[in-house]
Amino acid sequence: MTDLLIKSADLIGKGRTDVLVRDGRIAEVGSISAKGADTVDADGLVLLPGLVDLHTHLREPGREDAETVLTGTRAAAKGGYTAVCAMANSYPVADTAGVVEQVAALGRAAGYADVQPIGAVSVGLEGKRLAEIGAMAHSAAEVRMFSDDGHCVADPVLMRRALEYVKTFGGLIAQHAEEPRLTEGAQMNEGAVSAELGLPGWPSVAEEAIIARDVLLAEYTGARIHFCHVSTARSVDIIREAKARGAKVTAEVCPHHLLLTDEAARSYDPVYKVNPPLRREADVAVLRAALAEGVIDAVATDHAPHALQDKQCEWAAARPGMLGLETALSISVLALGGPAGVDWDLLAERTSRAPARIAGLEAHGRDPRPGVEANFTLVDPAATWTVVPEDLASLSRNTPYAGMELPVTVQATFLRGRATVLNGKIEEETTE
Ligand code: NCD
């Protein structure tokens, strides 16, 4: 592979710097002249460690009409990601070594982002019997994170056993916190808007009650727990208190919960239907502050592609979920102060370093230093773009940001020194 020279990129804490990449790793950082190297002019571009998504629905195997590992990771690369954690709610469910190995292999074959499978906690996500957690952990996919996402691990005994099990090998459980009895039939956030629209509500306490319980179970067992898509102000309080006591708790927030509110449901457009639902303005404000402060560790997309027929129907029949990978960086910038005010170091922490640490992805979330894998992205902080669903790399079209002008564009993404995106366009040749 020819050397690659990134010229005059804006490096966090360093200012304009050159970066030389050789054989997939950073070889040198400084003021470099390298004859014969492929050169990328990065003047005016910010270099970030490649983004890492803790929560991606890639839909393969089983719903390849909505997304595949290939299309989902192309969307990831376009969004500045170099690694994604693939949720287990595929068909079949990723509850065996065979399925997680298949997903990891599809990721390697596609070559657009590292795909780290998440294993199911329970067989078939049914919440009854523990899945083959040990077999998945010891498989070639080396699964460390387990989640029944889409479903809550509601049974406290099952959760306790799962926590005890993953503790033995340093794994963690990622909980979709939703007390199922409290959300039966729920269609949107429970509050003034749901009352007005006459739609059954999803009360915030359904999330908070499970987070409170699981914090206690994590402390009791001494195991690690991670909370998916935290969406309410009170959840933030509970997590803050747990962290203050030293509990091994981490949490993520989704871009849509940092920007949109339940007011969007007034349109009855199912593109705004998501689980957990869009909440109140007051929750959005608290979530933004918690992300800035670090009570919430990471931004995670909950990229949930759905086929047209599952979204273009009446609200109650529509599946919950929205696309996230290609817009997450822009929305995170908005939520953390806008393009002029954003602290790039903080942004890198919440979108790359922290999620890489949580998932145990050691080759990702690393700032450029000689020896580290060349997984990074170049973003134009001054550019804006308009979201056109038809132009997205994802196979699905269910973005809630259609027509919106967003700040910041991804100019290039590099995975082990190889461009997956260049000049804002996906590279078609990705073989290593
Ligand atoms: C998720 C999906 O579509 O897989 N949807 C979502 O709204 N987040 C699963 C889920 O319901 O959590």
**Best substitution site from 175, 319, 394, 399 to test ligand 1's pocket, by max atoms within 8 Å of Cβ?**
319
pLDDT of residue 320: 98
On whether residue 184 sits in a domain, the answer given is yes
Tell me which residue range forms the domain holding 18: 4-46+372-426
> Using CA atoms, how far apart are residues 73 and 369, in angstroms rounded to an integer?
26
pLDDT 10s digits, 99-119: 999 999 999 999 999 999 999
| Residue 302 bears catalytic tag | yes
Question: Does one domain contain both 230 and 245?
Answer: yes
CATH number, position 408:
2.30.40.10
What pTM does this model have? 0.98
Residue where one domain finishes, among candidates 359, 380, 409: 359
The DSSP 8-state label assigned to residue 271 in this structure reads: G
Q: Is 226 annotated as a binding residue?
A: no
Instruction: Please give the C-alpha separations between residue 72 and each of 115, 154, 367, in angstroms, as whole numbers.
Output: 10, 29, 25
pLDDT of residue 1: 81
Question: Does one domain contain both 259 and 386?
Answer: no
pLDDT of residue 329: 98
pLDDT of residue 430: 60
Question: Does one domain contain both 236 and 385?
Answer: no
Q: Residue 344's closest CA among 43, 83, 49?
A: 49
On whether residue 366 sits in a domain, the answer given is no
pLDDT of residue 431: 57
Q: Residue 110's closest CA among 429, 358, 324?
A: 429
First to last CA, the chain: 9
pLDDT 10s digits, 341-358: 999 999 999 999 999 999
Q: Residue 352's closest CA among 326, 385, 329?
A: 329
Question: 335 CA distance to ligand 1 centroid (A)?
Answer: 22
Question: Does one domain contain both 246 and 266?
Answer: yes
pLDDT of residue 429: 73
Element at 285 (helix H, strand E): helix 281-293
Question: Does one domain contain both 204 and 282?
Answer: yes
On whether residue 105 sits in a domain, the answer given is yes
Q: Which residue ranges have their beta carbon within 6 Å of ligand 1?
A: 57, 89, 149-150, 176, 274-275, 302, 304, 319-321
> Using CA atoms, how far apart are residues 5 and 249, in angstroms rounded to an integer?
40
- Choosing from 148, 214, 297, 302, the catalytic residue is 302
pLDDT of residue 419: 98
Domain count, the chain: 2
Question: 87 CA distance to ligand 1 centroid (A)?
Answer: 10
> Using CA atoms, how far apart are residues 374 and 53, in angstroms rounded to an integer?
17
Q: Which residues does residue 407 pair with via DSSP β-bridges, in sequence order? A: 384
The DSSP 8-state label assigned to residue 267 in this structure reads: G
Helix residue spans in 131-227 (DSSP H): 133-137, 156-167, 192-197, 204-221
Q: What is the mean pLDDT of each run of 10 residues along the chain (432 residues)?
A: 96 97 98 95 98 99 98 98 99 98 98 98 98 98 98 98 98 98 98 98 98 98 98 98 98 99 98 98 98 98 98 97 98 96 97 98 98 98 98 98 98 98 91 56
